[in-house]
């Protein structure tokens, strides 16, 4: 590690590790195969305070820095890659309120987010707007004391069982460039014109429902405009996604770790040609590369988290960490399956689940192709002649 953990950090990480080992790992594959929402685990996450992980203590959270938060996410992802999805976009929403909301908004919303009473995530992507955020079409028109929202959002994590979302919408459709006309509204289920239209069936990332949201003249109180000023939503989202990319990078670390731990055990137990397969040179090569990628991914991720804790802009560092850790997760999942052979391809071991979960990390919080563009632009700016 790049740093020594405090006693408090060690205690929290150990608590989460025990929770994962005792309560998450034993049921993960079963819930995954049934694509069943983990209601019982959600309640335990509430009890552990993780819905308020990065929310300051004065607002009812536990006030973790990004580094400790990444450690927690790594542990959760090691047990089941879907688990961090319960809190990632939820905490991006909380981050935007914490950093950019009015004091009245902080006092109202952050305690509700921290307790899990109000939870959900980020309503950002659309059918024709994913990584290209400026292409969104959903509008929010001011009408007296309300905004009237029309449009649709796709790929929204926690949409089925969440109840509150940070919605990015165009409050000035004629703005040029488009991002100057975008704002964030906190929206709640329950009013007419807000429909969770369908669950999206997925290869992996099961259990955590991903849905389409449809808005038809849905009214939102104007007081729910984050920061109280229109036209700043794009900036808020970009800042929040730095936190999200650290989360996804930490998920990648957790998945690489799960693949490595399963593989190093199996390589010492499974025997071929009269000896453990771990004594065969090609298997040793796979283990060596997987362990090296694990350590490199971990160092990149926690370096980005520490930079975020110092208040630095970290789109470069978070992008690098997300890119490397998630590619390492995909590669490690395939190598773990090769090491396990037929057993890894069966539904009896979690290897096949790791293999199905890894691709999401390549495309979540901005595709890795977009990450390379972000990284290159930042490098050119930092090293300008």
Of these residues, 212, 242, 317, 365, which one is catalytic? 365
DSSP 65-97: -HHHHHHHHHHHHHH-TTGGGGTHHHHHHHHHH
Helix ranges restricted to H, the chain: 7-19, 25-34, 39-48, 66-79, 88-100, 103-115, 233-269, 281-309, 315-340, 342-345, 351-363, 368-382
- Which neighbouring-strand residues pair with 157? 210
Spell out the residues 6+ positions from residue 285 whose beta carbon is closer than 8 angstroms to its own.
none
Smallest CA-to-CA distance from 207 within 328, 53, 360 is with: 360
Q: Report the distance separating Cα 37 and Cα 31, nearest Å.
A: 7
DSSP 112-165: HHHHTSS-EEEE--BTTBSS-GGG---EEEEETTEEEEEEEEEEEETTTT--EE
Is 365 considered catalytic here?
Answer: yes
Q: Report the distance separating Cα 168 and Cα 210, nearest Å.
A: 17
Joined together, the tokens standing for residue 211 give 């849905």
Q: Is residue 279 a contact partner of residue 214, using CB atoms and an 8 Å limit?
A: no
Helix (H) or strand (E) holding 226: none
Smallest CA-to-CA distance from 163 within 103, 90, 94, 96 is with: 90
Burial 126-144 (b: 16+ CB within 10 A, else e): beebbeebeebebbbeeee
Helix (H) or strand (E) holding 346: none
- Which neighbouring-strand residues pair with 352? none
Residues labelled catalytic: 365
């Amino acid at each position: 590690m790049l740093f020594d953990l405090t006693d408090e950090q060690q205690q929290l990480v150990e608590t989460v590790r025990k929770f994962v080992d005792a309560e998450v790992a034993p049921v993960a594959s079963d819930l995954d195969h049934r694509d069943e929402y983990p209601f019982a685990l959600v309640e335990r996450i509430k009890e552990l305070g993780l819905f308020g992980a990065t929310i300051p203590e004065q607002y009812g959270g536990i006030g973790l820095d990004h580094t400790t938060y990444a450690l927690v996410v790594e542990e959760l992802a090691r047990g089941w890659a879907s688990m961090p999805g319960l809190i990632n976009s939820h905490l991006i929403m909380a981050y935007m309120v914490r950093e950019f909301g009015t004091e009245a908004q902080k006092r109202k919303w952050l305690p509700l987010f921290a307790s899990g009473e109000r939870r959900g995530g980020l309503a950002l992507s659309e059918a024709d707007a994913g990584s290209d955020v400026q292409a969104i079409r959903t509008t929010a028109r001011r009408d007296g004391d309300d905004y009237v929202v029309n449009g649709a959002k796709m790929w929204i994590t926690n949409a089925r069982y969440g109840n509150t979302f940070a919605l990015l919408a165009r409050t000035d459709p004629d703005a040029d460039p488009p991002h100057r006309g975008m704002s964030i509204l906190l929206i709640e289920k329950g009013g007419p014109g807000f429909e969770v239209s369908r669950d999206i069936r997925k290869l992996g990332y099961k259990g955590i429902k991903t849905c389409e949201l449809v808005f038809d003249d849905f009214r939102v109180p104007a007081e729910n405009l984050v920061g109280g000023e229109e036209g700043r939503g794009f900036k808020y989202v970009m800042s929040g996604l730095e936190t999200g990319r650290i989360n996804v990078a930490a998920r990648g670390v957790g998945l690489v770790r799960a693949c490595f731990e399963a593989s190093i055990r199996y390589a010492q137990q499974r025997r071929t040609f009269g000896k453990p397969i771990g004594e065969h040179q090609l298997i040793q090569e796979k283990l060596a590369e997987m362990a090296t990628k694990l350590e490199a991914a971990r160092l990149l991720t926690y370096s980005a988290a520490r930079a975020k804790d110092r208040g630095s802009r970290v789109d470069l560092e978070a992008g690098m960490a997300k890119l490397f850790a998630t590619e390492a997760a995909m590669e490690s999942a395939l190598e773990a399956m090769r090491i396990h052979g037929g057993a890894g391809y069966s539904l009896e071991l979690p290897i096949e689940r790791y293999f199905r979960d890894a691709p999401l990390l390549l495309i979540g919080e901005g595709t890795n192709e977009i990450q390379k563009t972000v990284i290159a632009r930042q490098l050119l700016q930092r090293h300008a002649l």
